[in-house]
Chains A and B, each alone.
Chain A
């Protein structure tokens, strides 16, 4: 098999570009609330037949809004198994569900208990919280090569501590007392 110089170079460039492109995030998101920031900006990949989004968010809560200035990182997966009808310009994903793990920065939080405590004094890492949610999404197909689509999503969720609290206190607490609402936008490339 013969490849002339030009072809082989372009082939190499192509592969390199493809490789580089596959590391680029497939989409970006901006989320309001949902326990991961007043505003959280995220980027991630779509995988498993485009049914799962996995994103890393950086979240920020200003002191004026949240009572304390809070920075956090969240790793979140969202599974959207169905679309309503065939995807057209608008695609509706009526049901999504997923989970995230949220790391809160700050010296008052820990993963491993500080030395001042005997073993397993509190017994839980305060800087890590797990959240679960259900929601939905709509996507609008764009005629743009760089941004192929934009979408809106909403989620209703809770975190591990509030869920445990509800399970242990079904009389006083109710689902309404432990859930919270969030919204986000997504742009896919």
Chain B
């Protein structure tokens, strides 16, 4: 076997095209050729080793942390204005139009993506969405959706964005991003992480909290055994007045537990809509915008 391999190698080494390649290379400016090849490889993702590969550029990594840093540098006034959108999935043309529309709105503090960034959990899909969303004039934050958790999605999301559960305090309001995609974990009791949520809600460095989660607690993709515990935590904290979601691909606003907490669901990008949410002390306004 080894000798056969060697035979084959020798055959290759003695090929006449070795000279041809040498001539070809010396004829061109090899450096220019190499730079060109490098640009092709890096610039256009020219080589794909697997549809499920996770090959990211530096500006495609750790985006949650980077965008949080940008948001912390902003100085909030007494009114916080945010855009809630979600379910970008496979609708890049619509997302592109969303960004154009969002950039015409003034005094936006940041954009919230309610999850299902990708459709099949592919790094390529996450990258395309990010390449569009980075054209926003304000930073954007995401929460993980069920479509982002299939195939290699969990790994891609962690590397590109970061933790599935995280929070931020901005203008006295704590925004709590929590993974509620229980079905992806076969309802094993780990998702949503209620211990984590309880700890997040119990701090005293904020007076108001807003929840951002892909699947609303009353949907059957949310662990039904945790639904009442989840909504109970929100109510008992005395700080939450708004819970923001996606997943259902149409707008809806309700108070399903009659406890003064509004559950708002934004529509999918395919349906070309998003919500403009204005928060001020003691009040809020939610406008549905179509583009």
B46 touching A187, Cβ below 8 Å: no
Contact, CB under 8 Å: A67 / B155: yes
**Which of A122, A161, A187 is close to B51, meaning CB atoms less than 8 Å apart?**
A161
Known contacts: A38-B49, A159-B51, A172-B128. The answer to whether A164 contacts B15 by CB under 8 A is no
Would A126 and B151 be within 8 Å (CB), given that A144-B11, A161-B120, A165-B90 are in contact?
yes
Give per-residue flags for B168-194: 1 if the beta carbon is below 8 A from chain A beta carbons, else 0.
000000000000000110110000000
Partner of A68, one of B7, B8, B53, B91: B53
**Cα A36 to Cα B93 with chains together (Å):** 28
- B187, closest chain A residue (CB): A116
B36 within 8 A of A: no
Q: Which stretch (A2-10, A49-57, A79-87, A176-184) binds chain B?
A: A176-184
State which residues 29-86 of A face B: CB under 8 Å.
Answer: 32-38, 59, 61, 65-68, 70, 72
List residues 104-147 of chain B with CB under 8 A from any CB of chain A: 119-125, 128, 132, 147
* Cβ-defined contact, B49 with A35, below 8 A: yes
- Size of B's binding interface in residues, CB under 8 A: 46
> In the complex, which residue of chain B has the Cβ closest to the Cβ of A72?
B50
Counting CB contacts under 8 A, is A23 at the interface? Answer: no
- B281 CB–A CB distance under 8 Å: no
CA distance A117 to B48 in the complex (A): 30
Residues of B close to A37: CB separation below 8 A: 49-50
Q: Which of B49, B90, B183, B184 has the most CB of A within 10 A?
A: B49
**Complex interface: chain B residues within 8 A of A61 (CB):** 49-50, 53
* CB neighbours of B230 from chain A (8 A): none
Q: Which residues of the partner chain A approach B7 to less than 8 Å between Cβ atoms?
A: 146
Given A104-B50, A140-B17, decide whether A67 and B56 contact each other with a Cβ distance below 8 A.
Answer: yes
Chain A residues with CB under 8 Å of B93's CB are 168-172
* B159 part of interface (Cβ distance < 8 Å): yes
**Interface membership of A26, Cβ < 8 A:** no
Q: Does B163 contact A (CB under 8 A)?
A: no
Judge whether B166 is part of the interface by a CB distance below 8 angstroms. no
Q: Tell me the A68-115 residues at the B interface (CB within 8 Å).
A: 68, 70, 72, 102, 104, 108-109, 114
Chain A residues whose CB sits within 8 angstroms of the CB of B123 once the complex forms? 67
Q: Report the bound CA distance from A168 to B92 in whole Å.
A: 9
* Residue in A32, A34, A168, A172 whose beta carbon sits within 8 Å of that of B96 in the complex: A172
A residues within 8 A CB of B15? 140, 150
Contact A33 B49, beta carbon cutoff 8 Å: yes
- From B11, B44, B120, B155, give the contact of A150 (CB < 8 A): B11
User: Which of A59, A126, A168 is in CB contact (< 8 Å) with B91?
Assistant: A168
Total inter-chain residue pairs, C-beta < 8 Å: 119
Interface residues on A, range: 35 or more
Please tell me if the beta carbons of B183 and A180 are within 8 angstroms of each other in the complex: no
A65 to B48, CA, bound (A): 11
Instruction: Say if the beta carbon of B164 comes within 8 Å of chain A.
Output: no
* 8 A Cβ contacts from B49-71 to A: 49-56
Interchain CA distance A147-B150 in the complex, whole Å: 44
- Asked whether B183 lies within 8 Å of A172 as measured between CB atoms, the reply is no
B155 touches A35 (CB 8 A): no
Which residues of chain B are near A67, meaning CB under 8 Å? Answer: 53-56, 123, 155, 159
Query: Per-residue 0/1 for B1-42: is the Cβ within 8 Å of any A Cβ (1 yes, 0 no)?
Result: 000100110011001110000000000000000000000000
Residue of B nearest to A176 (CB): B44
Residues of A close to B91: CB separation below 8 A? 168-169
In the assembled complex, which residues on chain A have CB atoms less than 8 Å from the CB atom of B8? 147, 187
Q: Which of A66, A129, A177 has the most CB of B within 10 A?
A: A66
* In the assembled complex, A173 has its CB within 8 A of some CB on chain B: yes
CB-based nearest B residue for A115: B186
For residue B253, CB closer than 8 A to chain A, the reply is no
Asked if B49 and A108 sit within 8 Å, CB to CB, the answer is: no
Contact partner of B150 (CB less than 8 A), chosen from A65, A108, A144, is A108
Q: Provide the A15-35 mask, 1 if CB < 8 A to any CB of B, else 0.
A: 000000000000000001111
Q: Smallest CB–CB gap between B96 and chain A, Å? A: 5
**24 pairs from A and B in contact (CB 8 Å cutoff):** A35-B49, A35-B51, A37-B50, A65-B49, A65-B55, A67-B54, A67-B55, A68-B53, A68-B54, A104-B52, A108-B152, A117-B183, A124-B120, A126-B150, A126-B151, A140-B17, A147-B8, A161-B51, A161-B119, A162-B51, A164-B90, A168-B90, A172-B93, A172-B96
Contacts A72-B50, A165-B92 known; list 12 others, CB within 8 Å: A33-B48, A33-B49, A35-B51, A67-B53, A68-B152, A108-B151, A161-B119, A162-B124, A165-B125, A165-B128, A172-B128, A180-B47
